[in-house]
């Protein structure tokens, strides 16, 4: 309920020069989250970004 | 001559159980996970999540166990307390939950005139006599109701009928793929959830009322909790637990989570071709159309390491692989790397997670 995901090392991944995925480690799992608000991991990434507790690094 | 079923007007003969994997027969991730309690997560039986609020010191092992009640299901979920917590902080809670999409709940008609009752039934046993809570939480409207149930050391079928909730007459479940309702088994809670009084009808959420009167699963490391045969249906009657073909249940589960290999087995793989030093193009297809674009975790076939893919010709692994162009039916690329050999074949496996 109030338990939040621990998200680290968030970084945009680009394809054809467009951000399409956020790569991150969530609760110890190395994942690729699509930029779809219906995806629970991406939704939590956005929530933590809005809260100022997470920054997504630019793509390489 | 046909004989009408008791609940025929409210609940269909087939597909009346709204719960997925209520018989606990599908466990794509793992059959057993230890040390659970610090964070939320899906660990063993598909669709069943362990949900914690403020973290308890209590820990448990969650297992898909072949100890179900005869004639109902061979399998059940077993929760085994491995670390007790007798000093319960106010914000703690432990719930075993299933989250449900609004578009699968329209038959309830909740939140508008003519809303129907909901009956939840399940088979439960424990290491002793406990009182726990069964909660319905309406996420669309932040309304909830909890009913208590008791356990014994033998399997008992609990049948709980929840009143219809017309709310203000204009608050239906959203007809979409988002989270609308949680079925939750409240097994441990601090005073933030227990200091009030249980609601007797659906009501706007007051945290203190959610788990009043429950015991704590974490009271002793001797405690066990077993659950199977979970059914949620429309109407005031708990009909016989609906048996379902395993292929149907698996397909339902794979709308939310899919792995092409079985747990701990990396023999299944997919193949792609490097189109640059950074990326591999392939056809990485899921078995079912997923609820939403899923979170992808890539793994090397060779060693199972997350974020790696393997060059098929010599087995060399490359790190920092991320999935791209992730859709409802497939994803198209593994990218983010820097030392691939253009034109060569690479193999990988993955998991796809579209849980609510």
Sign of CA dihedral B159, B225, B44, B184: positive
| Chain-chain contact of B324 with A39 (C-beta, under 8 angstroms) | no
Please report residues of A whose CB lies closer than 8 A to that of B101. Answer: none
Please report residues of B whose CB lies closer than 8 A to that of A60. Answer: 336
| Chain-chain contact of B324 with A20 (C-beta, under 8 angstroms) | yes
pLDDT of A3 over the 70 cut: no
Q: Residue B15 and residue B207: Cα distance in Å, rounded?
A: 33
pLDDT at A1: 64
Within 10 angstroms of residue B282's Cβ, the number of other Cβ atoms is 21
Measured in angstroms, the CA of A51 and the nearest CA of chain B are apart by 19
Continuous segment of H or E residues that includes residue B51:
strand B49-52
| The pair of three-digit structure tokens given for residue B279, joined into one six-digit string | 């990326």
Measured in angstroms, the CA of B177 and the nearest CA of chain A are apart by 8
Residues 6+ away with beta carbon under 8 Å from A52: none
Please report residues of B whose CB lies closer than 8 A to that of A31. Answer: 295-297, 353
Q: Residue B76 and residue B28: Cα distance in Å, rounded?
A: 15
Sign of CA dihedral B201, B203, B206, B210: positive
Within 10 angstroms of residue B75's Cβ, the number of other Cβ atoms is 22
Interface of B to A at Cβ within 8 Å reads 39-41, 51-55, 91, 93, 95, 177-178, 279, 291-298, 306-307, 322-327, 333, 335-336, 353-356
Please report residues of B whose CB lies closer than 8 A to that of A18. Answer: none
| The pair of three-digit structure tokens given for residue B91, joined into one six-digit string | 């914000």
pLDDT at B268: 63
Confidence of residue A60 (pLDDT cuts 50, 70, 90): confident
The residue of B293, B319, B353, B356 whose CB has the most chain A CBs within 10 angstroms, and thus the best one to mutate to test that interface, is: B293
Q: Residue B117 and residue B112: Cα distance in Å, rounded?
A: 12
Measured in angstroms, the CA of A41 and the nearest CA of chain B are apart by 7
Q: What is the ipTM of this complex?
A: 0.96
Phi and psi at B219, nearest 5°, equal: -70, -25
Please report residues of B whose CB lies closer than 8 A to that of A27. Answer: 39, 41
Q: Residue A42 and residue A34: Cα distance in Å, rounded?
A: 7
The residue of A8, A13, A24 whose CB has the most chain B CBs within 10 angstroms, and thus the best one to mutate to test that interface, is: A13
pLDDT at B11: 67
- B143, with CB counted inside 10 A (0-12, 13-18, 19+), is buried
| Chain-chain contact of B324 with A31 (C-beta, under 8 angstroms) | no
* Chain pair A-B, CB pairs under 8 angstroms: 83
pLDDT at B86: 93
Mean pLDDT in runs of 10 for chain B (356 residues)?
A: 49 88 97 95 97 91 98 98 96 97 98 97 98 98 98 98 95 98 98 97 97 98 98 98 97 96 63 93 93 95 86 91 96 92 93 97
| Chain-chain contact of A38 with B292 (C-beta, under 8 angstroms) | yes
Percent of residues in chain A assigned helix, strand, coil, to nearest 5: 20, 40, 40
| The pair of three-digit structure tokens given for residue A50, joined into one six-digit string | 């809005």
Look over chain A and give the mean of its residue pLDDT values, rounded to a whole number.
Answer: 93
Residues 6+ away with beta carbon under 8 Å from B135: B95, B144, B145, B146, B182, B183, B184, B185, B186, B210, B211
pLDDT at B328: 97
3-state secondary structure B335-356: ECCCCCCCCCEEEEEEEEECCC
| Chain-chain contact of A27 with B41 (C-beta, under 8 angstroms) | yes
Q: pTM for the whole thing?
A: 0.94
Query: What are the strands, taking DSSP E only, across B190-341?
Result: 203-204, 224-234, 257-258, 270-274, 280-285, 295-299, 309-311, 317-318, 322-326, 330-335
């Amino acid at each position: 309920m109030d338990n939040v995901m621990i998200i680290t090392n968030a970084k945009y991944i680009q394809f054809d020069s467009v951000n399409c995925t956020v790569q991150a480690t969530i609760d110890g799992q190395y994942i690729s989250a699509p930029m779809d608000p219906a995806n629970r991991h991406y939704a939590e990434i956005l929530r933590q970004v809005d809260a100022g507790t997470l920054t997504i690094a630019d793509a390489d | 001559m046909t004989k009408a079923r008791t609940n025929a007007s409210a609940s269909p003969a087939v597909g009346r159980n709204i719960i997925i994997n209520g018989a606990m027969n599908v466990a794509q991730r793992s059959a057993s996970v230890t040390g659970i309690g610090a964070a939320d997560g899906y660990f063993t039986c598909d669709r069943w999540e362990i949900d914690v609020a403020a973290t308890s010191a209590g820990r448990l092992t969650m297992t898909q166990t072949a100890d179900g009640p005869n004639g109902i299901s061979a399998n059940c979920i077993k929760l085994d307390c491995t670390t007790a917590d007798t000093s319960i902080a106010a914000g703690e809670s432990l719930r075993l939950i299933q989250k449900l999409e609004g578009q699968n709940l329209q038959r309830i008609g909740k939140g508008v005139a003519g809303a129907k009752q909901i009956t939840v039934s399940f088979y439960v046993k424990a290491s002793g006599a406990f009182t726990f809570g069964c909660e319905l939480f309406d996420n669309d409207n932040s309304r909830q109701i909890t009913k208590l149930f008791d356990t014994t050391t033998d399997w008992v079928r609990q049948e709980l009928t929840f009143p219809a909730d017309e709310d203000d007459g204009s608050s239906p479940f959203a007809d979409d793929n988002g989270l609308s309702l949680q079925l939750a088994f409240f097994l441990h809670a601090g005073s933030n959830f227990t200091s009030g009084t249980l609601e007797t009808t659906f009501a706007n959420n007051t945290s203190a009322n959610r788990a009043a009167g429950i015991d704590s699963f974490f009271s002793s490391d001797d405690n066990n909790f077993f659950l199977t045969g979970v059914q949620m249906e429309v109407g005031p009657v708990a009909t016989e637990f609906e048996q379902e073909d395993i292929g149907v249940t698996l397909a339902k589960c794979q709308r939310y989570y899919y792995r092409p290999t079985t747990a701990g087995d990396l023999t299944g793989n997919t193949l792609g071709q490097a189109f640059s030093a950074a990326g591999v193009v392939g056809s990485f297809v899921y078995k079912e159309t997923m609820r939403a674009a899923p979170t992808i975790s890539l793994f090397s076939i060779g060693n199972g390491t997350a974020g790696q893919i393997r060059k098929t010709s010599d087995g060399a692994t490359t790190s920092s692989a991320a999935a791209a162009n992730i859709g409802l039916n497939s994803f198209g690329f593994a990218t983010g790397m820097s030392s691939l050999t253009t034109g060569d074949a690479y193999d990988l496996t993955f998991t796809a997670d579209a849980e609510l």
